[in-house]
Amino acid sequence: MDKIKQNTLHGEVAARIRDMIDAGTLAPGSRVPEKQLCEQFGVSRTPLREALKVLASEGFVELLPNRGARISKLTIDTLQHTLEVMSALEGLSGELACAHISEAELANIEALHYQMLAYYKNTNMAEYLLTNQQIHEAIVVASRNDVLIDVYKSLNQRVRRVRFSAELSREYWAKAVQDHEDIIAALRRRDSEALGQILRRHLSDKVEVSSLAGMAEQKNLP
């Protein structure tokens, strides 16, 4: 869609590595093959290593002294913690969005909502999850808080891989859809109190976490 144009070389490399982690081409726990990636990307080690430093500060890789970088594993704990923080941020987004959202944005979110309902009825989980994600991002963007948007996107990026391979139980799925009805209603009447409350609980629900648990690593031991 609207991909952000990375004008720095190390930024470009970092984006590529993130994608490779998402795609599983670089497996969690494995070492980062500097030389090989350099050849693959056609760059020298300098920008690649710069990218690794940035990715380390984002939590995608860990730097091991004198033995390069290793792809971070996503622990169940870390996943749970990340979803908790994202919930808090979504709660704030909801409150702020009530104050700042435009009619056009609201209309767009409603359209996405009905689209999502259709995917739910058809049990099309992949498309459902994608649309669901778009709704949440749209609310976050409507907060008009750039710091919030950045932090949210960064955390989301970190857990995206496992979130999109989730297996939702029938009960959880029904509950999530009901939540979304409530979210749209609260947003439509600009009820920031209610919207904040729903969003703070919506994601961090243990149900989703446990449904995701299978995708994440049990522990981060060597």
Partner DNA sequence: ATTGCCAGAATTGAATTCAAAATATAAAAT
Partner DNA sequence: ATTTTATATTTTGAATTCAATTCTGGCAAT
Footprint of a second copy on this chain (CB under 8 A)?
7-8, 10, 46, 49-51, 53-54, 56-59, 63, 65, 77-78, 81-82, 84-85, 87-89, 91-92, 96, 145-148, 150-151, 155
- Report the C-alpha gap between 50 and 157 in whole angstroms: 19
Q: Of DNA, a second copy, none, which one does residue 180 interact with (CB within 5 to 8 Å by kind)?
A: none
Residues 158-217 that bind DNA (CB under 7 A): none
In the complex, minimum distance from the CB of residue 6 to DNA, in angstroms, rounded to a whole number: 10
> How many residues line the site for DNA (CB under 7 A)?
21
CA distances from 92 to 149, 160, 174 (A): 11, 21, 24
The binder of DNA chosen from 63, 85, 138, 215 (CB under 7 A): 63
Six-digit token string for 78: 């870390």
| Backbone φ and ψ of 10, nearest 5° | -65, -30
Residues 28-57 that bind DNA (CB under 7 A): 31-35, 43-47, 49
Residue 123 backbone class (left: φ over 0; alpha: ψ -120 to 50; beta: rest): left
Classify 71 as helix, strand or coil.
Answer: strand
Note whether 28 and 69 are within 8 A (CB).
Answer: no
- Report the C-alpha gap between 136 and 142 in whole angstroms: 10
Q: Does 68 bind DNA (CB under 7 A)?
A: yes
- Report the C-alpha gap between 219 and 34 in whole angstroms: 26
In the complex, minimum distance from the CB of residue 73 to DNA, in angstroms, rounded to a whole number: 18
Q: Of a second copy, DNA, none, which one does residue 155 interact with (CB within 5 to 8 Å by kind)?
A: a second copy
Note whether 130 and 159 are within 8 A (CB).
Answer: no
The binder of DNA chosen from 66, 102, 146, 222 (CB under 7 A): 66
Q: Of a second copy, DNA, none, which one does residue 88 interact with (CB within 5 to 8 Å by kind)?
A: a second copy
In the complex, minimum distance from the CB of residue 204 to a second copy, in angstroms, rounded to a whole number: 9
Binding site for DNA (CB under 7 A): 8-10, 31-35, 43-47, 49, 63-69
